[in-house]
Amino acid sequence: MKATTAAIRRPRARKERILVTPEGISLPVMVAGRGARLGALILDLIFIAVLMVCSTLALAQIAGGVGQFMREAEGKGATAQALQFLMIVWIVIMFLFRNAYFLYFELGPRGATPGKRLTGIRIAARDGGRLTAEMVIARNLLRDIELFLPIPLILMAGADSGMAWLAAAGWLSIFMLFPLFNRDRLRAGDVIAGSWVLERPRQKLEATMTAVQTPVGEEAPSPTLKYRFKEAELAVYGEFELQSLERVLRDDRTESIETVYHTIAAKIGRNDGWGDERRFLSEYYTQLRARLEAGMRMGRRKADKYSG
């Protein structure tokens, strides 16, 4: 309940961008946070490292087994052949893990590596169009200079080799910090590919506010209103207050309902909802919304209580 209501009135945050789909519908999207990006990257690197270690161990096991078997079978040439083959497999696997891991997962329907999926983000085309294979390839080829080139350099050079280490560390930090210095948090690879990383939205469909459930076959109850509000009583609030009221009603916490009841009752000068605050508020909500939506249909909108 908490999470959904937090999302109902999204703060117009710095992360929000408007994306226009090819159908011409503008969609608010959230650019993925830097923390989530970093977390996803670290997770993916861990996965890759685990995969590399596991496959190396497995191949080493096989190689050991093959060597022993061949020694018993007295086939010297065949051993070399088999070991060579395993060596090739190992080289190819290492190359693939390093270069194809990101490609494979980001080309899938989810557009996200396992790390990205765990942190709830994915990639998309910046222009609102289709995410193409070229984009995914381009953005991942650049990973090589961003990560895979400087990290081994740093590890190999060690801090005592002075300039080389400094250069590699500077290099890494330039590319790692690249997303910090542009508005859409683009990585160098994103710049090249025309892609960006977005948050994956999650939003459940909430119940309708004004609907009444009626079993099939029964006569629908005529909507009886216990409280009727006059035009002047409804005119004091706008859309912002309406949606705040919606949040309070959906949250359904007794204290906040009471507080809000007192505020509204004082503002419109009524006190007949005493002891029946929830019903009072929900009927006020319905009538206020009916009034504001009728205005919308006529092209009149009232943003909040301050606007005329």
Partner 1 sequence: MNAISAPSPTSASAIEIAALRSDRFRIEREADWQRLEAIVTRMEKGRLRRISDEDLLALPGLYRTVASSLSIARETSLDAATLAYLEALVQRAWFVVYGPRSSLAEWLGSFLGGGWSAAVRAIWLDVLVALAVMVAGVAVGWLLVSHDPEWYFSLISRDMAGARVPGATAEALRGTLFGEQERDGLSVFAAQLFSNNAQVSILAFALGFAFGIPTLLLLIHNLALLGAMAWLYHGAGLLTDFAGWIFVHGTTELFAILLAGAAGLHIGRALAFPGDRPILEATAEAGRRAAVVMTGVVLMLVIAALLEGFARQLVDNTFGRFAIGGFMLMLWCAYFFAFRGNARTGARR
222-281: contacts with partner 1 (CB under 8 A): 223, 239, 242-243, 246-247, 250
Pairing type for strands 195-199 and 121-125 reads antiparallel
| 3-state SS assignment for residue 274 | coil
Which residue, 2 or 297, has its beta carbon nearer to partner 1? 297
Handedness of CA 106, 110, 115, 120 (dihedral sign): positive
The CA distances from residue 158 to 5, 42, 134, 250, 272, in Å, are 51, 21, 36, 58, 77
Q: Is 76 in the site for partner 1 (CB under 8 A)?
A: no
Question: Binding partner 1 by CB under 8 A: which of 1, 57, 64, 85?
Answer: 85
Q: Return the residue of 57, 209, 236, 266 that touches partner 1, per CB under 8 A.
A: 209
- Considering only CA atoms, which of 148, 303, 163, 157 is closest in space to residue 237? 303
Residue from 12, 14, 228, 297 that binds partner 1 (CB under 8 A)? 297
Q: Please state the closest distance from residue 286 (CB atom) to partner 1, in A.
A: 6
Q: How far is the CB of 70 from partner 1 (least distance, A)?
A: 15
Give the DSSP H/E element, type plus range, for residue 122.
Answer: strand 121-125
Which lies closer to partner 1 via its Cβ, residue 237 or residue 261? 237
Judged by CB under 8 A, which of 31, 70, 82, 136 binds partner 1? Answer: 136
Interaction with partner 1 in 22-51: which residues (CB under 8 A)? 22-23, 25, 27-29
Strand, helix or coil for residue 128: coil
Contacts for 128 with CB less than 8 Å, ≥ 6 apart: 19, 20, 21, 22
CB of 127 to partner 1, least distance (A): 8
Find the binding residues for partner 1 in span 143-202 (CB under 8 A).
Answer: 144-145, 149, 188, 191-194, 200-202
Q: Which is nearer to partner 1, 159 or 171 (CB)?
A: 171
Backbone angles phi, psi at 185, to 5 degrees: 55, 45
- Are the C-beta atoms of 186 and 196 separated by less than 8 Å? yes
Residue from 2, 12, 14, 130 that binds partner 1 (CB under 8 A)?
130
Q: Which range of residues in 45-53, 66-74, 93-101, 260-268 is near partner 1 by CB under 8 A? A: 93-101
Interaction between residue 292 and partner 1 (CB under 8 A) = yes
**Interface with partner 1: number of residues (CB under 8 A):** 87
Q: 143 Cβ partners below 8 Å, 6+ apart?
A: 102, 189
CA-derived radius of gyration, the chain = 30
Query: Cβ-count burial of 119 within 10 angstroms (0-12 exposed, 13-18 middle, 19+ buried)?
Result: buried
Regarding 52 and contact with partner 1 (CB under 8 A), the answer is: no
Residue number, 141 or 268, with CB nearest to partner 1: 141
